[in-house]
A = this chain, B = another copy of it.
Amino acid sequence: MIDKKTDSEKVVIGVDIGGTNTAIGIVNYKNELLLENSFLTKADEGIDAFIRRLTKKIKEAFGRYEATHVLEGIGVAAPSANYLNGIIESPANLKWGDVNFIEMMKKNFDVPIALINDANAAALGEQKFGSAKGMNNFIVLTLGTGLGTGIVVNGHLLYGENGFAGEIGHTIIEKDGRQCNCGRRGCLETYVSATGIKRTVFNFLSKYNDQSELRRLNFENVTGKQISEFALQNDQIALKAFNYTGEILGRALANIVTYFDPQAIILSGGLVDSDELLLNPTLKYFDEFLLNVYKGKVQILKSNLQNGEAAVLGACSFAREEIFENILNII
């Protein structure tokens, strides 16, 4: 099937499954993003319902290109995804238990499907198209519903022994700290993520007496984006929450450096996009907490890719590599 069309008509679809939204992109052989859209993940409806909706969305998206293009494969980025076995393993923010994702998707598609951890996909995206171009030692932090990390060492993604390296969002930074979806307490992502800053806001509403529009909102509905908007309007609770989040993130980044001695740490996700609200306090505390020997050697960068693009591009790129390697293996 593939041979009938020329290279220029080959596309790959990338999917990035997030705790809140799922993004789909179509990438051509020039690595141009032809189309990107997203839909609500609604993980609480269960994995079967999600696979049905995802299948429909992918078919709708590719429908526009079907007459002129050929689909080479699908790359799927998801939290807690293990590329070694194709399983999404008990994702803390999706509550699906262990899901044999590739098996399930193969019932609906007859092209190769590759599964990759979402933050690893973001790291590949940054390395090939974004802020980490040309770098061999860097770490990407994705701040969404949770906090994901993709680690590149000597030019290659760090998978670890079982494919689960880089769950830095689940380092315990506070003994008996905030309850985490993983069943433990005090994980980094309960402080540094869209959900984390919301928890900080509600803690600060109880702690401080500042007037704040945030006092009119309920916990379930308030979003990271709203907190950013209030902070930009000089809301003191929102600003204090960004400062507190930046302090914890700055210290966490200083700690990450002691493990990897990287060239750069790249921050991405909605919470980072909001002007320099998070970046400024993060940089301040990072400098304060950084061990002397690393001073002046590590860049803290905001991703220069649009929100969500890195993981979608990375998933496509990963799928292409997997397809290419399998073909080579067959030969």
Contact = CB atoms under 8 A, between A and B. Distances in A.
Contact of A183 (B158, B171, B292): B292
Given A90-B292, A293-B89, A293-B90, A258 B168 contact: yes
Interface residues of A, number: 42
Given A153-B153, A171-B255, A261 B291 contact: no
A262 interface: yes
Contact of A161 (B160, B251, B255, B263): B263
Contacts of A320: none
A170 B251 contact: no
B168 A259 contact: yes
Interface string A283-305: 00000010111100100000000
A289 B175 CA distance: 10
A111 to B, nearest CB: 29
Residue in A156, A161, A163, A294 whose Cβ sees the most chain B Cβ within 10 Å: A161
Interface string A161-197: 1111111101110010000001110000000000000
Given A153-B158, A175-B251, A263-B161, A258 B293 contact: no
A217 B164 CA distance: 47
Nearest to A98: B293
A260 interface: yes
A294 B158 CA distance: 16
Interface in A63-92: 80, 89-90
Contacts of A168: 258-259
A172 B137 contact: no
